[in-house]
Amino acid sequence: MKSEKNKKIIFLVNSLEGGGAERIVLTLSEGFIGRGYEVHLILLYNRISFPIAPEINLFILNKNSNLNLLTKGFGFFVLASKLKSYLRTIDYDPDEDIFTSHLPFSNFVSWAARVKNHYAVVHGALSFKYKSFLTRFFLKLIFKNKRMIGVSQGVKNDLINYFSLSEINVGYIYNPFQIDKIQRLAEESTDTSLGNYLIHISRFIKLKRHDLLLKAFKESRLYKSNKLLLLGEGPERENIQNLAIDLGIEDYVIFKNWQDNPYAWIKNAKLLVLCSDHEGLPTVLIESLICHTPVVSTDCRYGPDEILVGDLAKFLVPVNSPDQLANSMVKAVADYPVISSRYYDKFQVNHVLDHYLMLNKKFNS
């Protein structure tokens, strides 16, 4: 039996290009490196946007980064074969080492490679993504008896209920957050010319419901003493800019692209608002609490009700309700409970790493 520190921690992900799941994998990798583990980070494709610590063993299965759908499909089993070969090269021990894959294509490659003791991490609610009866039918067959990990209890329940999976094969582990680092970055300076402002951070896509936010902001009349800062990019941005004009609040709504350090902007906001139709585990809510900035959120599936708990639960509002969202925003700006560490400690990196280390024991007992 291997000692704890002799275990290999292996992550498979499509690439390291931009997305939230990719950043999470990198945070996990760095966390295990910090604890002295041997970490292997395997990418399907050679697309990297983040710096990678030299202590991480990086391996790229396909170094051709310019792939279309045809070559991607054709190379599926080639990737699976290369994955099997690499795991043999590093002497992967399925009973002792930890192997997780992240994002759907990486999960499918791992299943095709028949990796033993493999855990497929699911970063969002699949019931919203795969709605057709035929797709759901085939996924039920594929997912049956597979070990799957949701990033929230809601995502776990979604997998069990929507795909009729056995509860013994499905678990959940929250995403990790580098709390000390976030709080340190939050102390950096920002543009103070905005004055008081509320903040919303997300891609401009329909499910994030910027339209709902703008309607609630106008109805709340908070624009009389606060700006609304929208950080992000995406296909719906122009539509939301036009909506601000239609609502007559364009002078109070500020649009900014992604910021290298969003935490300082969150820290200095009077309130952060999330108004999505659905989520998996909304990162920005946790980051806001870590920055001790009040939060109002729609009570969407999934995640907000696992984050805003206790005294904060009263700031959860029904989905698609601008009136209730406006009322909650006014109350939050006027009087919000003290945000202590008990609201975000469970998302601490080391706490999350402990759960990953328990995977084999949990599922093999």
Q: Decide if 153 contacts 163 (C-beta within 8 A).
A: no
Q: Whole-number mean pLDDT of the chain?
A: 93
Cα–Cα distance between 175 and 152 in angstroms, integer? 8
| pLDDT for residue 20 | 81
**Of the candidates 223, 279, 212, the residue with the CA atom closest to the CA atom of residue 248:** 223
- Is pLDDT at 68 greater than 90 in this prediction? no
267 and 352 share one domain: no
pLDDT per position as a tens digit, 95-153: 999 999 999 999 999 999 999 999 999 999 999 989 999 999 999 999 999 999 999 99
* pLDDT (0 to 100) of residue 84: 97
| Percent above pLDDT 90 for the chain | 84
Q: What pLDDT score was predicted for residue 364?
A: 75
Confidence grade of residue 1 (pLDDT, cut at 50, 70, 90): low
Q: Residue 42's pLDDT is what? A: 97
Q: Are residues 40 and 83 in the same domain?
A: yes
Shared-domain flag, residues 168 and 200: no
Cα separation, 62 vs 259, in Å, equals 31
Which whole-number Å values give the CA distances from 337 to 196, 205, 292, 294, 296, in the listed order? 19, 31, 10, 8, 12
CA pair distance 311, 339, nearest whole angstrom: 9
CATH of the domain at 226: 3.40.50.2000
Tokens 């870590």 locate to 290
pLDDT band at 67 (very low <50, low <70, confident <90, very high): low
Tokens found for residue 141: 């067959």
Task: Kindly provide the residue ranges of all beta strands, DSSP E only, lying in 14-147, ordered along the sequence.
Answer: 38-45, 57-62, 98-102, 118-122
Mean pLDDT over 44-62 rounds to: 92
Count of alpha carbons within 13 angstroms of residue 319, beta-carbon side: 13
- At 309 the pLDDT is 97
Residue 292 carries which side chain, given as an amino acid letter?
H
Please provide the size of the chain in residues.
365
pLDDT reported for residue 64: 66
Do 285 and 203 share a domain, yes or no?
A: yes
Per-residue pLDDT reduced to its tens digit, 291-300: 999 999 999 9
Verify that 205 and 97 share a domain, yes or no. Answer: no
- The pLDDT value recorded for residue 244 is 98
Asked whether residue 140 falls in the same domain as residue 124, the answer is: yes
Q: Both 264 and 280 in a single domain?
A: yes
- The answer on 188 and 97 residing in a single domain is no
For residues 141 and 166, state if they share a domain: yes
Domain count, the chain: 2
- Position 65 pLDDT exceeds 60: no
2 vs 47 pLDDT, higher one: 47
Range of the domain at 310: 179-346
Q: Do 186 and 115 belong to one domain?
A: no
Mean pLDDT of 331-337: 98
What is the arithmetic mean of pLDDT over 47-61?
93
Q: Same domain, yes or no, for 190 and 323? A: yes
pTM of the predicted model over 0.75: yes
Q: For residues 221 and 80, state if they share a domain.
A: no
Give pLDDT, residue 3.
Answer: 58
As given in the structure block, the two tokens for residue 300 are 């969407």
Query: If you average pLDDT over residues 299-320, what whole number do you get?
Result: 97
